[in-house]
Chains A and B, each alone.
Chain A
Amino acid sequence: MKVSNSYVGRPMERVEDLRMVRGRGTYVADVNRPDQLYAVILRSSVAHGTIRSIDFTRALELPGVRHVLTAGGLGDFVPRIPVRLQSLPELEPFHQPVLADRKVRYVGEPVAVVIADTAAIAEDALEHIVLDIETLPAVAGREQAETEPSLLFEGHGSNTAITWRACLGDADAAFKSADYVRRERFKVQRHTAMFMEPRGFVAEWNAVAGEMTVWGTAKTAFYNRRVLAAALGLDEHAVKLVEVDVGGGFGSRGEFYPEDYLIPAAAMIARRPVKWTEDRREHMMSANHSRDIECDVEIAVSRDGRFLGLRGQIWADIGAYLRTNGSVGPRNVAQCMSGPYCFESVDLRSSMLVTNKTPTGSYRGPGRFEADFARERLIDIVARDLEMDRLELRRRNLVADSQMPYPLPTVTPFESTNELDSGDYHAVFDRCLAEFKWEDRSKLRGRLIDGYYHGLGIGSFIEGGAAGPKEDARLVLETDGSLSVYLGSSAIGQGLETIMSQIAADAMEVPFERITINHGSTDHVKDGYGSYHSRSTVMGGSSILLAAEKLKELIRETAAKRFNCSPADVSIDGEKVSHAGNHLTFSNLSDIPLEVEASFFNSKHTWAYGTQAAYVAVDPGTGHVKVIDYLSVEDVGRMINPLTLHGQAIGSIVQGLGGTFLEHLVYDSEGQLLTGSFADYLLPTASDFPNIRSITLELKRCPNNPLGAKGAGEGGIIPVAGVIGNAVADALFHLNVQPNELPLSPPRLWQLIEEARQ
């Protein structure tokens, strides 16, 4: 059968769904090992303090309690979790110990691990551990961090861990000569990924073979294996991390957390398999928080509306420690604040402040969601001041196709330069306006209809993807002619198996059903990087294309021996190889599997981009906002699967709306986390945002990878707060309400309206 080479680009239904819709998925809580014990973690209930003593003798006396692990029991040196991205020696003091070491620095910090016959017994045992902590003043926010009545790390002498700087051109000169300057403060509240499946691990130590196996890895298995092996004093190859089905990631799951060490260490000590599953409250205080940024930025504009400069200061509250990817957001805010626009100059500083809160890390669109809120709001404020049309102001400054590739500001230290690769930003902007019927609807500005003020908002964004350095793929043509693909990319709910099957089926011209995808676990390929930074499709997919070329070569060589000819004279047609009228099929080509491995290297990011528009109605009596219509138009270069991509875009936008209106991890002034359940941390529900549309385009292929695809899936979320903020300001134009602080909860907005009326 000749297979038409066209799976890529088709809305293929997912292979994953066949098990998931029938309850046959295997998530980590579904993994059980014979004879397993259960771990439960004692967490600090004090935000900041010195540990005087931990007495667990009574806990150990409970029947069924096997071991209690504390920092004191880990030997002279408590392992600290290294930083995966942008690691600098001067940031090492801020690395988190796997168990609180002499001090506790946030509510939820692991202090001890109880290992028992059942989880219930282990939980009971927590009550019998006596923890004596001398309380220190808590640093619960930016002001306290800066005034430093208390230091989290006395040796460092300051609560500012580092200040990044993003520069382009000469900002001081630009501001000196500018016709118009405007300065504003913006604030994005602490919120986070909050995926639905709690984290968990099952670890098994084989003392005889000296091998550690851990189920429950996600995202970055190979990096985590290196860290774990080093911390346990094992050879990397003695550690196997197994990825099972993963209930959502969004940047947070799969980073190396204290539990990534503690559960395997517990299994080693207990010499029996150990299982741990967090509950929701624990998740809220232990998994990475995100966002939590304030900024004071200034824009310089010429009389004719050209953006001359952007400068200012950003403060990122990173919580008590620097986590594996904790610098990504704070750096991105600075580097991406100029976004898809030409600013002649940029000078932004971003300071990371340590506070007595849960540490932060990446959440979908890290730093970009925050940056876009500030920038798009600022642009609308400028338009109002200068009495310019806000669309025209944007058109005048969007980077033009002819200017590509276009440089982004350079961030230092850990210098990173970056450039926008390709795109027709104006075309997408205009397409969004047309689809949204902007012109007709723009008459609605500030109109009071049935008690609601109506308004429109717009914003454009860029989405970086496909972080290097490389990804590996191993292709095996099995003796029955089926194709097994082994990948370093990992699945975090994004339909990886389906997408990679589409790419492999096209590359090898075999039917989709003949392909099996194996991913995520550390024994599939020699090395791998994983799924973050919208990279798995582009990087993993490109490595499949390279491996397919190699496999075809090997198939020709193998067939040539059978045909007694030169490999160049062998032709491959679907699953058939031929030479001079002789044929073999893939299933009778070889007695042994044919196997190749290839790596795709990439030093350049891909930049998807787009424009979003919102139509809202604001109830001035309550501050409630109805989202009447929301549209996203994005160019991703090339779509592998429109069905899954569309799904990610919609899901991403709704997460953005959650971050804009609802989600907030709230602390009191003592550093106590007040949001401990879904009753306090409000996620969007099915009745909140029914009207979301997304259009994906393939306008400009990415020049930097063989697929031509740009990383996608984060994009939707990036401009949402800016777009909604602008729509709300538009609805309340007559009152000059400027929503510059998130979340835009009804009480906050109501208060802004009341203040404006006075």
Chain B
Amino acid sequence: MQVAFELNGDPVNADVEPRTTLADCIRDRLGRTGTHVGCEHGVCGACTVLVNGEAVRSCLMLAVQAQDEKVVTIEGLSGDQLSPLQAAFRKHHALQCGFCTPGFITTAHALLTNEPDADQERIREVLSGNLCRCTGYIPIVEAILDARSHYARDGEK
């Protein structure tokens, strides 16, 4: 069946099975492979994307449920220059293998967009739904704290 939605600002459509997840649709049908799949059970958060601005696990959502919605993936948060959040991740060495990173950045982006002054405890609470096996989370939390000022200033990234 056909599904049509907005992906990173562009209209897209794809031919999917009813059981196809949004993650598989984005990756396999639409070729945006920045969204990663680590568990397919909604536990690791690597597949997090933004649906109408909310952080959503794309492995738990069916592609057909995205009909007419606005979906943003890590690619949609990336340009020629690193975004403040991406630059902060790099500066604080908040990634090693990088597999979890797109999920953390989309999650953090949604958080800081809604709550630009989230404190360390709040950040940890929200991040506890994303797994990272490499960093021990400390540099990720530091990076997000560091990037906060950019959200406070201009509301967007």
Docked CA distance A704–B32 (Å): 47
Q: Are A22 and B86 in contact (CB under 8 A)?
A: yes
In the complex, the chain B residue whose C-beta lies closest to that of A25 is B98
Sort chain B's interface into a size bin. Answer: 35 or more
Closest chain-A Cβ to B4's Cβ sits at a distance in Å of 22
Given the interface pairs A13-B90, A29-B33, the reply to whether A651 lies near B131 with Cβ below 8 Å is no
Complex Cα spacing A195 to B97, Å: 9
A22-B136 CB under 8 A given contacts A27-B99, A687-B125: no
A22-B34 in contact given A194-B133, A650-B138, A686-B137 (Cβ < 8 Å): yes
Q: Tell me the smallest distance from the CB of B50 to a CB of chain A, in Å.
A: 13
Identify the closest chain A residue to B41 (Cβ).
Answer: A677
The answer to whether A651 touches B33, judged by C-beta atoms less than 8 angstroms apart, is no
Q: Is the CB of A651 within 8 A of B136?
A: yes
**Are B40 and A280 interface neighbours, CB within 8 A?**
yes
Assembly CA distance A479 to B68 (angstroms): 52
Residue of B nearest to A679 (CB): B43
A644 and B39 CA atoms in complex are apart in Å by 27
B12 contacts the other chain (Cβ, under 8 Å)? Answer: no
| B44 contact set on A, CB distance < 8 A | 196, 280, 678
- In the complex the two chains form, is B124's CB within 8 Å of A21's CB? no
A474-516 vs B, CB cutoff 8 Å, 1 = contact: the mask equals 0000000000000000001111000000000000000000000
**Taking the complex as formed, is B65 at the interface, i.e. its CB lies under 8 A from any CB of chain A?**
no
Report A-chain residues with C-beta under 8 Å of the C-beta of B86: 21-22
Across-interface contacts of A27 in B (CB, < 8 A) = 33, 36, 99
Closest Cβ of chain B to A432, distance in Å, is 19
Residue of B34, B38, B130, B136 contacting most chain A CB atoms (<10 Å) = B136
Dominant SS among interface residues on chain B: loop
- The minimal Cβ–Cβ distance linking B40 to chain A, given in whole angstroms, is 6
B136 touches A26 (CB 8 A): no
- Whether A21 lies near B105 (C-beta < 8 A) is yes
User: From residue B59, how far is it (CB to closest CB) to chain A in Å?
Assistant: 10
Residues in B with CB closer than 8 Å to A55 are: none
CB pair B102–A23 under 8 Å, yes or no, is yes
CA distance A690 to B134 in the complex (A): 15
Given A679-B41, A679-B43, A683-B133, answer yes or no on A646-B99 (Cβ-Cβ < 8 Å): no
Q: Is the CB of B78 within 8 A of A22?
A: yes
Asked if A411 is at the interface (CB within 8 A of a chain B CB), the reply is: no
A728-755 CB mask vs B (1 if < 8 Å, else 0) is 0000000000000000000000000000
Q: How far is the CB of B83 from chain A (nearest CB, A)?
A: 8
In Å, the complex CA distance between A248 and B89 comes to 18
B100–A24 touching, CB < 8 Å: no
For A247, what are the chain B residues with a Cβ–Cβ distance below 8 Å? 36, 38, 97-99
B22: Cβ under 8 A from any A Cβ: no
Leading 5 A-B pairs by shortest Cβ distance = A23-B34, A493-B97, A20-B98, A247-B99, A654-B136
Mark A residues whose CB is within 8 Å of B.
13-14, 16-18, 20-27, 29-30, 120, 193-198, 245-250, 279-280, 492-495, 643-644, 646-648, 650-655, 677-679, 683-690, 692
- Given A24-B78, A644-B93, A648-B96, 5 more pairs with CB closer than 8 A: A17-B90, A196-B99, A196-B131, A493-B96, A692-B138
List 24 A-B pairs, Cβ < 8 Å: A14-B93, A16-B98, A20-B101, A21-B82, A24-B34, A24-B78, A29-B27, A29-B36, A196-B36, A196-B100, A247-B38, A248-B99, A248-B133, A492-B97, A495-B96, A651-B135, A651-B136, A653-B136, A655-B133, A678-B41, A679-B41, A685-B127, A687-B124, A687-B127
